[in-house]
Amino acid sequence: MTTEQARTGAGRGGFGPVQRSFGAVNWIGLWTLYVKEVRRFLKVPGQTLLAPCATTLLYLAIFALALGGAVREIHGIPFLAFLGPGLIAMAIVQNAFANTVTSVMISKVQGNIVDMLVPPLSPGELTLAFALGGLTRGVAVGVAVAVAIFAFVPTAVHDWAAVVCYGLGASLMLSLVGLATAVWADKFDQTAAITNFVITPLAFLSGTFYSIDRLPEPWHAISLFNPFFYMIDGMRYGFTGHADGSIAVGAAVLVAADLALYGLCYWMFATGYKLKE
* DSSP class per residue in 91-139: HHHHHHHHHHHHHHHHHHHHT-THHHHSSS--HHHHHHHHHHHHHHHHH
Is residue 109 assigned to a domain? yes
Distance, CA of 92 to CA of 12 (rounded, Å): 54
3 state SS of 73: strand
In the structure, what pLDDT confidence band is assigned to residue 184 with cuts at 50, 70 and 90? very high
Q: Which residues contact 249 (CB under 8 A, 6 or more apart)?
A: 230
Backbone angles phi and psi of 243, in degrees to 5:
-140, 140
Section 66-91 average pLDDT: 83
Question: What is the reported pLDDT for 234?
Answer: 95
> In terms of residue numbers, what domain contains 190?
29-271
Smallest Cα–Cα separation from 14: which of 5, 22, 23?
5
pLDDT of 5-18, one tens digit each?
444 444 444 455 55
Whether pLDDT at 71 is above 70: no
Note the pLDDT tens digit of each residue in 242-277. 999 999 999 999 999 999 999 999 999 999 898 876
Within-domain flag for 194: yes
Cα–Cα distance, 85 to 81 (Å, whole number): 7
Question: What residues have CB less than 8 Å from 124, skipping those under 6 apart?
Answer: 266
Phi, psi of 94, deg, nearest 5 = -65, -40
Please name which of 37, 28, 15 lies closest in space to residue 119, comparing C-alpha atoms: 28
Report if residue 12 sits inside a domain: no
Establish if 24 belongs to a structural domain.
Answer: no
The pLDDT tens digits for 192-251 are 999 999 999 999 889 888 899 888 889 899 999 999 999 999 999 999 999 999 999 999
Residue 64 lies in a domain: yes
Question: CA 81 to CA 94: how far, in whole Å?
Answer: 21
Q: Say how many domains are in the chain.
A: 1
Q: Nearest 5°: CA angle at 190, between 184 and 191?
A: 80
> Above 50 in pLDDT, residue 4?
no
Residue 276 belongs to a domain: no
Which secondary-structure segment (H or E) carries 236? helix 227-240
Sign (positive or negative) of CA dihedral 230, 231, 232, 238: positive
In a domain, 192, yes or no: yes
Instruction: Look at residue 120 and tell me whether its pLDDT is greater than 70.
Output: yes
Question: Model pTM greater than 0.95?
Answer: no
Tell me if 127 is assigned to some domain. yes
- The pLDDT assigned to 7 comes to 43
Residue 96 has pLDDT above 50, yes or no: yes
Confidence of residue 2 (pLDDT cuts 50, 70, 90): very low
Does residue 240 come out as left (phi exceeding 0), alpha (psi in the -120 to 50 range) or beta? alpha
pLDDT band at residue 1 using 50, 70 and 90 as cut-offs: very low
Integer Rg of the chain from CA: 22
